[in-house]
Structure 1
Amino acid sequence: MKKIRDLVVDDTFEMFVLIKQADVRLAKNGKKFIAFTFQDGSGNIDGKFWGATEDEIERYKAGKVVFLNGKREVYQNTPQVKIIKLRLATEEEPYQAELYMEKSPVQKEDLAEEINQTIFEITNATWNRIVRHLLVEHQTAFYEYPAAKNFHHAFVGGLAVHTVSMLRIAKSLCKEYPALNASLLYSGVLLHDLGKVIELSGPIGTEYTLAGNLLGHIVIVDEEISKACVALKIDEQSEDVIVLKHMILAHHGQLDYGSPVRPRIMEAEVLHQIDNIDASMQMMMGALEQVEPGQYTNALFGMDGRRFYRPNSK
């Protein structure tokens, strides 16, 4: 049976897929439709289910596996599926969501070993204790959750993969620029996205939680650091805690991107740049893997809607 990645324009197909997203919207005629993103281990494809009834909206939710009969088309240079028929998979069929999810390219045990080793390299006692406390508290979710609902590292274990990738970049930069405070930079990397375990609902049918929508992961991590200080009897007004919080609060770099403050210390600016590099690389590599040399990717919303070309050159 074909996978999503194998489909070409005008292919008519039947396959089991996971509903990754199911957003209910209103058409110009006033009727509701479902904007789907379908997923299997090879990739994603969007499709619209027009004239959806309330029963169908309730039935076809994110996280459900369906049997999809459709036709692969293109709309505004973006692949999509024209839905011909759709039904839920039965228990006699491969209905487990885990079968269709993108997997982490790195084993959980390897990620944990690299992170634990880095914690030993955080020589500042205050930062070490806070980082260790929060990673232990959220250990299970940290290694299971994606780093985002969409865009970058949006797969099982993506949060830990993103964190370790950023740690490797941070360590290279600390060797190149000894003026950087490695302990502070590593602490910021390890904690910067930890709030995603509260902001997001989980790895299957990922949605934003109430706290995610109303607070966001930056504020959530700031609160988690405050709670850790109480538990560990650390003075929250000490410079060590304030600069650590600044790392988190400033890591999106711009006020327009959700940071309440812009970076005002060197390590905070570097953390922002590392985060942007790793997220951008993952988005571009993931998109370019889906196209042949000489072709353009789909428009990448997380990259200002740009389409990237895959050169024939080697």
Structure 2
Amino acid sequence: MADKQLMAYAVGEQMNLMALLKNVSVRVAKNGKQYLDLTFEDQSGEITGKFWDASTADIERYQAGRVVRLAGKRENYQGSPQVKIGSLRLANADEPHDPSDFVVHAPMKASEMEDELNQVVFEITNQVWNRIVRFLIAKHRDAFFTYPAAKRNHHAFQGGLAYHTLSILRLAHSVVKQYPTLDAPLLYAGAILHDLGKVIELSGPVSTQYTVEGNLLGHISIVDGEIVSACNELKFDLNNENVVLLRHMILAHHGLLEYGSPVRPRLLEAEVLHQLDELDASIMMMTNAIEHTAPGEFGERLFAMDGRSFYRPNEPQIGEQDNQE
């Protein structure tokens, strides 16, 4: 009989299953002893837990990217799911131990996402933007269609980067239809490239970590540098207005200086891209939390949503709506 998955356990229920160590951090408790702050993952989601009084051997043993047998109790801590660890060990050879089997995947295949993206590239009729986009997507193709869009929070799953990009492009098509004065090719080019720097900022889809470049530079600066490199390869003048406009789309897409953008949006299309990026990321975070919440309850608090928790309304029973009419 297969194990239940992480998010199938109710609060207070005893857990016993195989899981991937997605993230591992060594911390020091108030008593001066070391402990491990762990994030467990399987295809249903992720949950945190603390391994107290960790020895040097424990720290060496429990590394991110390894599969473990976890036993414990599902709890909630300050509004977020957590497991009180009872026992922990590495997977045996005769147990599931391939990390890729425990990673959440995008709801589309990489080939399907690539086909949809390529169709939008044809709509980028400005040749400067079109050639830069095609150059950079070709350069980072494998990573772009397999990497997550974040270490945690929104689209933090294999293929999440491309899926998030496609979501924004679909929203952009709707906005362009409503507001035809928008420069659609600029908006599409900016949407495709806005998070491309994450293929360098992040380590990959399994046990995702920030790279040295990611920590020191950030994906906004990284992709701006990639655009400059592409322009040098393609012999485009960096002072060309088309190049400057595209770089602004990337540099401004976080909207505020305190959120990492070196400049605030000063183009209509840059402001639209920022709003669509926020909308897609927020909906994904809220949807994921609500899916793991029982009807009639509030879900976990979302740090990226100002610490708010969101309510899942009671789902009407079959026939209940008819009786109310």
State if a TM-score over 0.5 links the two structures. yes
CA offsets per residue over residues 128-177 of structure 1, 9 Å max, x none?
00000000000000001000000000000000000000000001101110
Within 1, Cα distance between the matches of 2:286 and 2:314? Answer: 16
Paired amino acid for 2:38 = F
- 1:20 is displaced (CA, Å) by 1.1
Please state whether the residue corresponding to 1:222 is helix, strand or coil: helix
TM-score normalized by structure 2?
0.95
Within 2, Cα distance between the matches of 1:25 and 1:132? Answer: 44
- 1:9 is displaced (CA, Å) by 2.4
Please state whether the residue corresponding to 2:312 is helix, strand or coil: coil
**Structure 2 residue aligned with 1:106:** 108
Matched, 1:282 2:300: no
Which of 17, 20, 23 is the matching residue for 2:22?
20
Which of 93, 96, 99 is the matching residue for 1:94?
96
Which of 36, 39, 43 is the matching residue for 2:38?
36
Paired amino acid for 1:23 = S
- 1:99 is displaced (CA, Å) by 1.2
Count of residues paired in the alignment? 314
- Alignment of structure 1 residues 178-217 onto 2, 5 Å: 178-217=180-219
**Structure 2 residue aligned with 1:223:** 225
- 1:305 is displaced (CA, Å) by 0.8
- 1:237 is displaced (CA, Å) by 1.1
- 1:73 is displaced (CA, Å) by 2.0
Please state whether the residue corresponding to 1:187 is helix, strand or coil: helix
- Alignment of structure 1 residues 61-76 onto 2, 5 Å: 61-76=63-78
Please state whether the residue corresponding to 1:9 is helix, strand or coil: coil
Please state whether the residue corresponding to 2:93 is helix, strand or coil: coil
CA offsets per residue over residues 172-220 of structure 1, 9 Å max, x none?
1011101100000000000000000000000011000000000000000
Within 1, Cα distance between the matches of 2:118 and 2:270? Answer: 22
**Structure 1 residue aligned with 2:269:** 267
Q: Identify which range, 56-65 or 141-150, moves more after superposition.
A: 56-65
Within 2, Cα distance between the matches of 1:73 and 1:297? Answer: 13
Within 1, Cα distance between the matches of 2:200 and 2:234? Answer: 21
Within 1, Cα distance between the matches of 2:97 and 2:46? Answer: 17
Matched, 1:153 2:148: no
Within 2, Cα distance between the matches of 1:257 and 1:139? Answer: 27
- Alignment of structure 1 residues 109-124 onto 2, 5 Å: 109-124=111-126
* Identity fraction in percent: 56
- 1:313 is displaced (CA, Å) by 5.7
Within 1, Cα distance between the matches of 2:210 and 2:79? Answer: 28
Within 1, Cα distance between the matches of 2:33 and 2:233? Answer: 52
Structure 1 spans left out of the alignment, 5+ residues: none
Within 1, Cα distance between the matches of 2:195 and 2:127? Answer: 21
Paired amino acid for 1:306 = R
